[in-house]
Structure 1
Amino acid sequence: MVAHRHVSSSGEAETAKVSVDDTVVVPVEAAAAVTISDSAAAAADAAEVSSHPLTDMFGAQELLTELQDQDQFGKRGEAWTFAQVAAIVLVLLPPFQLVGLVDILATLLITSGVVFMLYGIMSLGRFISPLAAPRKSHELITTGMYNYVRHPMYGGLLMAAFGLAVITRSETRLAMAALLWVVLEKKVTIEERMLLERYGQVYQDFKAKVTKKFFPFVY
């Protein structure tokens, strides 16, 4: 083993390279520097990887920290979040069948629809017309079912149509009932414009008083 030591001009000894059988051994200080340099590079690479958008797309660590904030618990809508999860579970794993209840509700819907239509016909009497335009002898009716909705016959027709679609388990009828709703919405727009032209402020006041178009307390 041969060692070489070099002394600088300041008199301080420099670290020697030691050769053993022509093999160069790196001094301890240099090895430590390499190790520290490698560690710093690894840390920089890790930081670069962690900052990559694909590694934490949803900010999971930040979200976890926020969820662990006990001071904010119950103030961020947690109850509705739990209700949402419970509802999703019920959708996936319903605890019981509601076929009978749905049939009962559909029957009530059909019955109510027929009653609405009959009541509307009786309220209009001789002023009834299949057209959007009011008849020449038309009088504005604001009593009976018209105390609650402006177009009870159309509302009753829609209730009966949707009830029939549900009780017969017909997706086609359901789609046609939705189409009927669109048609009636367009017809009502024309009809109310014509009524406003004929009755002016009187009809405007009626619309302000009876705000529901088809279904009492709903729409």
Structure 2
Amino acid sequence: MTAFEHRWNARGEGYVAAQALLLAGIVALPLLRPRWGTPRGLRVAGTALVLAGGTLVGWSGLRLGPNLTPLPEPRTEGQLVQTGPYALARHPVYGGLLLASLGWALAHGHRGALGLSGGLALLFDRKARDEERRLTRHFPEYPAYQRRVRRFLPGVY
């Protein structure tokens, strides 16, 4: 890792920048180049995913409270939250954002936004792995939590 890369991503700023760009693209692509004729069922399913994902993000953010940070580096004074949505998945904010981005792409029937949602999933997987290394250093009880709770989807992944 170069000195620039180390400074840029010391606390995970690079992940946050990439995440912001991908999310902006996911939202903007269907608005800039709309696709007409999306089947009603796909619009309804996509809208349901957007609502479910948004609800999960909101619930997770509220449950984290002052521990919430966009960076994978935990707050020095933070606590490990293992209740609410965090009893079901270790990264429910990421899971909620993935559901919402997938739903947005489907509701608009936009392949480009769907592709960017796939890119966001890959980014979140990498960011979560980095975050988990940091959380393991910060919280001795984290490895036991990892063994008990899946990363994004309860019972699946």
TM-score band by shorter chain is 0.7 to 0.9
For residue 186 of structure 1, report the CA deviation from its aligned partner.
Answer: 1.0
For residue 190 of structure 1, report the CA deviation from its aligned partner.
Answer: 0.7
Q: Does 2:101 correspond to 1:172?
A: no
The CA deviation string for residues 98-138 of structure 1, in whole angstroms up to 9 with x for no partner, is 93322222111111100110011001001111111100111
Q: Does 2:143 correspond to 1:204?
A: yes
Cα gap change, 1:218/1:104 in structure 2, threshold over 3 Å: closer, same or farther?
Answer: farther
| Equivalence for 2:155 | 217
Structure 1 alignment gaps of length 5 or more: 1-97
Structure having the higher Rg: 1
**Larger relative contact order (C-alpha < 8 A, sep ≥ 6)?**
2
Q: How far apart, CA to CA, are the structure 2 residues paired with 1:174 and 1:99?
A: 16
TM-score (norm 1): 0.53
Q: How does 1:42-53 map to 2 (within 5 A)?
A: none
Q: How far apart, CA to CA, are the structure 1 residues paired with 2:154 and 2:44?
A: 20
The share of aligned pairs that are identical, in percent, is 31
> Which protein is richer in helix relative to its size?
2
Structure 2 alignment gaps of length 5 or more: 1-37
Task: Find 1:130's aligned residue among 70, 73, 92.
Answer: 70
The answer (yes or no) to whether the contact 2:98–2:121 under 8 Å persists in 1 is yes
Q: How far apart, CA to CA, are the structure 1 residues paired with 2:54 and 2:89?
A: 15
Q: CA RMSD in A?
A: 1.4
Number of aligned residue pairs: 120
Q: Does 2:131 correspond to 1:191?
A: yes
